[in-house]
């Protein structure tokens, strides 16, 4: 019985999954074994690289995928925690001559590329069977082909990435890129081999082998899932991703066509402090529960109905930025470093200050917007992009003068939509060190009003009241800068600044002036 291994790597879905479709359409395949690998190089030997929200979200994505596979083929998802190379070796030993092929997705990250190389070599050495690594499954562009093309230049603007996309895809008569349609989920998925013995396979594997059920039990024992239900706003999985796509995009053409990212609110929907004013689809794109092509096409359907916003502000513009950062992360050496990185000015940041970092991470800086956003991140694993602008500027060039990599690492640990390419790109951008950054001297005011480009709710301030309950009774007039409130207002609001809620940890105007001078001086030393 020829068995194809389908490794769900960057695409935790059955819709628009080239690896799954290929195995299902191969007439020589009798059985399909669906697997997922918890690579210690990504999640950590003890899952220490992921915060609780990331672990919970990933588990829900795997459980949803498992249910879909069982419904289609009565085949459970087999989950390995260990080296992908060890996984492949154990499966080859287990199936021997019945091993037909391995099919999965291309990964552009350095660790992913080295894993791909090792797995390919292993299969080529031990068998004459193919290993397929499908390009353009997690992105619209074929990243490897694009960056190796003659004349490729690192994109630094929306104009640059549009030029690259237009060199790959023609325009139709209405001016839309001819992006390939997503492939439908297979009507039939071959069953897993009936004689597959997970216990026997485990004997050949130097790691842990799980079903979704046993993995959940392990996470429960490790207390990774002791998150209050009220905090679990984003439920993981393809089912939830498709529902949110329908509710936020497919059924809201006017919203899509008038969408302008800079006009959305950093403090979410006033009536619901946990619901984004954007689509909230980024976590599902990150783990591959939602196809980027599927989202592109749904936006395109709306755009074809009438006048619509355009890149860079539109939803298509946001997806083009995503492509741009994937290309840069592949083409630029040391993408995640501040040295020998052509996309990073080597600014001399201050020494890591644990007091500053802890106050920022815990949401106890004395600046309500910053604190609300960081508490939202800790609670839900998500933050609006303008919120990310505010807290990253505050941490780096604005007020605290801390290295951008410190903030990046905290975001990587906690964000549901954490992504190696995008997270590094955003921190390079927002700390002011990249060629595509805004001018370094343009700072966000951490105490904004209704006219701020951060688009905060300055009418009800429900976002602040929800995430910083100490200020629940504060009048809007003072809620973004409560230390300015007269003592009688603080007393009547039942919150004394410096006692019930921290006083500002720095004088924001004075330190901003000092930090801009430091940045300017560091730039001068670089160019000298």
DSSP category for residue 455: -
Give the tens place of pLDDT for each residue, 445-467: 999 998 999 999 999 999 999 99
Confidence at 257, pLDDT banded by 50, 70, 90:
very high
What pLDDT is stored for residue 203 in this prediction?
A: 81
What backbone phi and psi angles, to 5 degrees, belong to 231? Answer: -85, -20
What's the rounded Cα separation, in Å, for the pair 110 and 322?
Answer: 18
Give the tens place of pLDDT for each residue, 175-184: 999 999 999 9
What's the rounded Cα separation, in Å, for the pair 186 and 103?
Answer: 15
What angle, 0 to 180 degrees and rounded to 10, lies between the N-to-C axes of helices 212-221 and 52-73? 160
Which residue, chain included where needed, has tokens 């050496």? 333
> What residues contact residue 518 under an 8 Å CB cut-off, 6+ apart?
348, 401
DSSP category for residue 32: E
What pLDDT is stored for residue 128 in this prediction?
A: 82
Q: What is the helix (H) or strand (E) element at residue 171, kind and residue range?
A: none
> How would you list the strands of the sheet with 208-210, edge to edge?
131-134, 99-105, 3-7, 31-38, 78-81, 208-210
What's the rounded Cα separation, in Å, for the pair 87 and 104?
Answer: 14
DSSP category for residue 184: P
Report the alpha-carbon angle 244-265-366, nearest 5: 120
* 352: three-class secondary structure by DSSP: coil
Which residue, chain included where needed, has tokens 């390419």? 421
Give the tens place of pLDDT for each residue, 52-80: 999 999 999 999 999 999 999 988 999 99
Task: Delineate the domains of the chain, giving CATH numbers in brackets.
Answer: 354-527 (1.10.579.10)
Give the tens place of pLDDT for each residue, 108-157: 999 999 999 999 999 988 788 889 999 999 999 999 999 999 999 999 99
Are 26 and 4 in contact, with CB atoms under 8 Å apart?
yes
Return the closest-CA partner of residue 308 out of 255, 366, 252, 344.
Answer: 255
Which residue, chain included where needed, has tokens 């969408």? 259
Residue 204 has pLDDT above 90, yes or no: no
Upstream peptide bond of 370 is cis (omega within 30 degrees of 0): no
What pLDDT is stored for residue 516 in this prediction?
A: 97
Give the tens place of pLDDT for each residue, 478-509: 999 999 999 999 999 999 999 999 999 999 99
What backbone phi and psi angles, to 5 degrees, belong to 290? Answer: -125, 135
What pLDDT is stored for residue 125 in this prediction?
A: 84
Question: Which residue(s) pair with 80 in the sheet?
Answer: 37, 209
Residue 85 CA: distances (Å) to CA of 97, 101, 445: 18, 15, 49
What value does the mean pLDDT of the chain take? 95
Q: Where are the alpha helices (DSSP H) in 79-227?
A: 84-95, 110-126, 143-147, 158-168, 198-203, 212-221
Q: Phi-psi category of 293—alpha, beta or left, where left has phi over 0 and alpha has psi -120 to 50? A: alpha
């Amino acid at each position: 019985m020829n068995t194809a291994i389908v490794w769900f790597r960057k695409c935790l879905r059955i819709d628009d999954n080239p690896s799954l479709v290929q195995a299902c359409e191969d007439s020589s395949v009798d059985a399909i074994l669906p697997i997922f690998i918890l690579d210690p190089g990504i999640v950590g030997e003890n899952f220490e690289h992921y915060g609780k929200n990331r672990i919970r979200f990933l588990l829900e994505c795997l459980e949803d995928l498992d249910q879909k596979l069982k419904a289609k083929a009565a085949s459970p998802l087999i989950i390995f925690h260990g080296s992908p190379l060890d996984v492949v070796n154990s499966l080859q030993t287990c199936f021997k001559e019945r091993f037909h092929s391995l099919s999965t997705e291309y990964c552009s990250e350095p660790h992913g590329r080295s894993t791909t190389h090792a797995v390919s070599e292993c299969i080529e050495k031990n068998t004459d069977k193919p290993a397929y690594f499908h390009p353009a499954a997690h992105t619209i562009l074929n990243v490897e082909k694009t960056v190796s093309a003659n004349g490729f230049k690192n994109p630094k603007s929306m104009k640059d990435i549009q030029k690259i996309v237009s060199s790959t895809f023609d325009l139709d008569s209405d001016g839309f890129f001819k992006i390939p349609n997503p492939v439908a989920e297979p009507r039939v998925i071959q069953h897993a081999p009936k004689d597959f013995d997970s216990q026997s396979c485990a004997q050949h594997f130097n790691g842990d082998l799980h079903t979704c059920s046993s993995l959940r039990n392990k996470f429960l024992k490790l207390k990774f899932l002791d998150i209050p239900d009220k905090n679990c706003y984003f439920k993981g999985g393809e089912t939830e991703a498709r529902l949110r796509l329908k509710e936020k995009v497919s059924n809201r053409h006017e919203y899509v066509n008038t969408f302008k990212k800079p006009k959305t609110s950093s403090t979410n929907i006033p009536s619901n402090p946990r619901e984004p004013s954007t689509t909230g689809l980024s976590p599902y794109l990150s783990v591959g529960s939602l196809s980027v092509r599927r989202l592109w096409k749904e936006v395109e359907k709306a755009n074809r109905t009438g006048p619509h916003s355009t890149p860079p502000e539109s939803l298509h513009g946001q997806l083009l930025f995503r492509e741009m950062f994937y290309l840069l992360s592949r083409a630029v050496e040391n993408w995640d470093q501040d040295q020998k990185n052509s996309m990073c000015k080597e600014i001399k940041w201050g020494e890591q200050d644990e007091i500053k970092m802890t106050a920022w991470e815990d949401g106890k800086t004395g600046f309500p917007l910053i604190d609300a956003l960081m508490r939202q991140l800790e609670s839900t694993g998500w933050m609006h992009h303008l919120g990310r602008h505010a807290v990253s500027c505050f941490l780096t060039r604005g007020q605290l003068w801390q290295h951008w990599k410190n903030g990046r690492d905290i975001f990587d640990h906690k964000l549901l939509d954490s992504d190696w390419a995008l997270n590094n790109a955003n921190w390079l951008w927002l700390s002011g060190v990249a060629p595509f950054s805004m001018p370094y001297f343009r700072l966000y005011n951490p105490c904004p009003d209704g006219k701020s480009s951060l688009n905060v709710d300055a009418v009800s301030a429900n976002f602040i009241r929800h995430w910083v309950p100490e200020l629940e009774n504060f009048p809007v007039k003072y809620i973004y800068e409560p230390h300015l409130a007269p003592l009688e207002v603080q007393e009547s609001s039942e919150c004394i600044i410096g006692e019930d809620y921290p006083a500002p940890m720095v004088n924001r105007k004075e330190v901003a002036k000092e930090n801009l001078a430091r940045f300017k001086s560091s730039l001068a030393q670089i160019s000298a």
